[in-house]
Amino acid sequence: MPMGRYFMHLAYNGANFHGWQIQPHDVSVQQTIEDALAMLLRCSTPIVGAGRTDAGVSARHMTAHFDMSDQSKFAQDTKLLVDKLNAIVGRDIAIYNIERVADHAHARFDAKWRTYRYYALTYKSPFFNGLAWKASRNLDFDAMNRAAELLLHTSDFTSFAKLHSDSRTNICNVTHARWHKSEHEGVYYFEITADRFLRNMVRAVVGTLVEVGRGRLSVEGFAQVIRDANRCSAGTSMPAHALYLWNVQY
């Protein structure tokens, strides 16, 4: 039976999921979508995401691929498939678009750049509960940006990698790393773009930058953390709820 490959563009609130990847005894985004596809296509339909987000992490834009029979009615009407999926997957996942791509296209391996954002709020607000990290008003964002600039000249991110992970290499190419002030007063976000990310890397980077912002670590100290290539030298891992996979570029 002839099969075609499709890219799915979606977003999700990660608060109620144990990450993107299928877990044996927990609810994941991948499993939820695969179950919905199996129901509609009447066959097991694995999906492959552009990356793996940890438990509690959300995505503004995730891309995933899957294969579907050319004989399926949904192959002729992908908008109908989008509508049907959105009716099944629940309120925490939104499927935006499904498009036919080349048979060899790969959501993970063909992705050139991925961008994450980590949101910080410097005042109390009921509207950002569960969406941003409550930060001190006294954080030195200028110092944090001087430290973040060092990431553009770093290739080995071992100090920010989860211990005992299955990554074959800790080498990443970061092209953007900076704290930005949002259009909303008192809201900041750290944006970082790289060709790949290690497990827990962004939250560890942010946690170490926050130490700089608090005055507990100098910019040179941040540079030494990088040189140490030791996770124990870096700061704590920040809470997951304020982290978003912001974009995937091909």
List residues with catalytic annotation. 54
Count of CB atoms situated within 10 Å of the CB of 129: 11
Question: Phi/psi of residue 80, each to 5°?
Answer: -65, -40
Given a contact cutoff of 8 angstroms between Cβ atoms, the answer to whether 32 and 89 are in contact is yes
Question: Phi/psi of residue 2, each to 5°?
Answer: -60, 135
At a CB cut-off of 8 Å and minimum separation 6, what does 36 contact?
Answer: 85, 88, 89
Given a contact cutoff of 8 angstroms between Cβ atoms, the answer to whether 119 and 183 are in contact is no
Given a contact cutoff of 8 angstroms between Cβ atoms, the answer to whether 213 and 143 are in contact is yes
Given a contact cutoff of 8 angstroms between Cβ atoms, the answer to whether 130 and 15 are in contact is yes
Looking up tokens 């977003």 gives 11
